Amino acid sequence: ILLFLYFLFIQTVTTEDVTHQKSFTGEQVWRIQPATKQHIKYLRTLQKKYLDVLDFWTLPSSVNHNVDVRVPNHLQKKLKSSLKNKNLPYATIIQDVQKLIEEERQSMVKDRKKRSVKSENPSAEFNDFILDSFVSHQEINQWLTNISSQFEELCSTFDIGETAEGRIIRVIKISLTNSTYKNQSKRAIWVEAGMHGREWISPVTANNIIYNMITMSYSDRCVKNLLEAFDWYILPVANPDGYEYSRSRDRMWRKNRRLSEVLKRPWWSAYYSHSFQRNKYRYCYGVDLNRNFGFKWGVVGTSTNPCSEIYQGPAAFSEPETAAIRDFASAVNNDTQIIVYLSLHSYGQMWLYSWGYTRQRSKDHKDLRYIANQSSEAIFLASQKRVQYTVGPAARTLYASSGCSDDWAKGSLGVKYAFTLELPPSDTDYQLNGFLLPASAIPSIRETTWTGVKTMAELTLAA
């Protein structure tokens, strides 16, 4: 028997190692349309009950706000009949999650091939590679270093911290030194991306912003102005461990990868709990970094359960990533006042502003709304496909959640303009893809986001 068990053990360990990647074959994503308060309540109970079975891509918030949820095979039948029972309509928006993951991977392979064909200019090729595909954290960091030594009068990099798995959190600063703009003292714009592992469109969009700022700094009058008036600090991957884990192991990974806390339960409790699935583990990996910032930490839309996707962590700023951002951004802010804090997420095509933790208006509500509206209007007008962002305060437009970086920037640092973008898709070609975009979707998203960011910065300049 012992030999048999040993064999079984080896078997499971090695199969895990061979496949590496978690498979999502047959898993679906459903778009549920809650129409009553009861529906919302019910969705929230589902969320708790199936904590590590159901993956909510959008959290339940209020009536008529759709909720996207990933449903594994074994729950589909059961959930279907419960939804029917509750009179809750839904549509299947992704038939097979694995299929989309494979298409995404294919699109990246094609990209690599295309690049290896044309290679007269190796540095240009390296740029294409970074700007047109979903590349590794290491490649992004290397590129940040390369490009800032290539444009050393314009750029510098700062290593602001190290993750649990030893990856470097790197920020690039783009600035025209010694410049003055209409004799104003300089202010700073902070752009942060890649806070959630699986939101791959976010880091690549940040890289494109970096590239445009740098290469257009002399040729484009407007960009030059923006660099004279502001120091730009851009962090493309705020959660390197989560990003890499989503690339190599679990495409749906959101949190960081620190083993933060062992559940305070005796070891045998797992076997006696009423839901074996839910309490299978005594520990779980990862904190939701966008619930870990120390402003209104743990107030709403967060979880104290380490196995939850929105686990807030054992304490505010308990994580190396959030602590690094806090320390560095505070130091920048003491030196050069940060006027905009922009956080790039996906998906939903929304231009959100603070507050996210409360439905109450901030004192700058009108100014925030103005810039968000104008920026998304500019996107709408400039885009061929008429990309239309939804605009509003985060808590009302998306859902309420606290401990997020945008609210922290506003509430603790005093940054006036705190925005979160939920990047496309929503009404573009890939409106039902969620996090799983082919690389071919990057160019149009880079164009629209660039238009939005430029407009936002110009309006800030005038404000």
Give me the residues that bind ligand ARG (CB under 6 A), please.
290, 345, 352, 356, 394, 398, 401, 404, 406-407, 420
Question: Does 291 interact with Zn ion (rule: CB under 5 A)?
Answer: no
Q: Which is nearer to Zn ion, 199 or 407 (CB)?
A: 199
**Subset of residues 313 to 352 that bind Zn ion, contact rule: CB under 5 A:** 345
Residue 396: name its binding partner from ligand ARG, Zn ion, none (Cβ under 5 to 8 Å by kind).
none
Strands (DSSP E) contained in 289-367 are: 338-346, 350-353
Q: Which is nearer to ligand ARG, 213 or 398 (CB)?
A: 398
Would strands 67-71 and 28-32 be described as parallel, antiparallel, or unpaired? antiparallel
Q: Which is nearer to ligand ARG, 111 or 199 (CB)?
A: 199
Residue 290 CB, nearest distance to ligand ARG (Å)? 4
Q: Which is nearer to Zn ion, 198 or 410 (CB)?
A: 198
d(CA 114, CA 415): 43
Residue nearest to ligand ARG (CB): 356
Read off the tokens for 20.
């590496």
Residue 169: name the closest of 289, 252, 342, 335 by CA. Answer: 289
Residue 135: name its binding partner from Zn ion, ligand ARG, none (Cβ under 5 to 8 Å by kind).
none
Q: How many secondary structure helices (H) and strands (E) does the chain include?
A: 15, 14
Alpha-carbon Rg for the chain in angstroms? 22
Residue 311: name the closest of 303, 319, 323 by CA. Answer: 303
Residue 137: name its binding partner from Zn ion, ligand ARG, none (Cβ under 5 to 8 Å by kind).
none
d(CA 13, CA 15): 6
Q: Which is nearer to ligand ARG, 164 or 394 (CB)?
A: 394
Residue 132: name its binding partner from Zn ion, ligand ARG, none (Cβ under 5 to 8 Å by kind).
none
Binding residues with Zn ion: total (CB under 5 A): 3
d(CA 128, CA 416): 35
Residue 441: name its binding partner from Zn ion, ligand ARG, none (Cβ under 5 to 8 Å by kind).
none
Crossing angle of helices 221-229/442-462, nearest 10°?
Answer: 60
Active-site position among 125, 422, 447, 458: 422
- Which residue shows structure tokens 């605009």? 391
Q: Please indicate whether residue 261 is annotated as part of the active site.
A: no
Q: Which is nearer to ligand ARG, 130 or 238 (CB)?
A: 238
Residue 303 CB, nearest distance to ligand ARG (Å)? 12
Site string for Zn ion, 164-203 (x = CB under 5 A): --------------------------------x--x----
Residue 33 CB, nearest distance to ligand ARG (Å)? 20
Residue nearest to Zn ion (CB): 345
d(CA 389, CA 455): 14
State the burial class of residue 387 (Cβ atoms within 10 Å of its Cβ: 0-12, 13-18, 19+): buried
The residues near 344 (Cβ < 8 Å, ≥ 6 apart) are 191, 192, 193, 194, 202, 205, 206, 420, 421, 423, 449
Task: Enumerate binding residues for Zn ion (CB under 5 A).
Answer: 196, 199, 345
Q: Which residues are catalytic?
A: 422
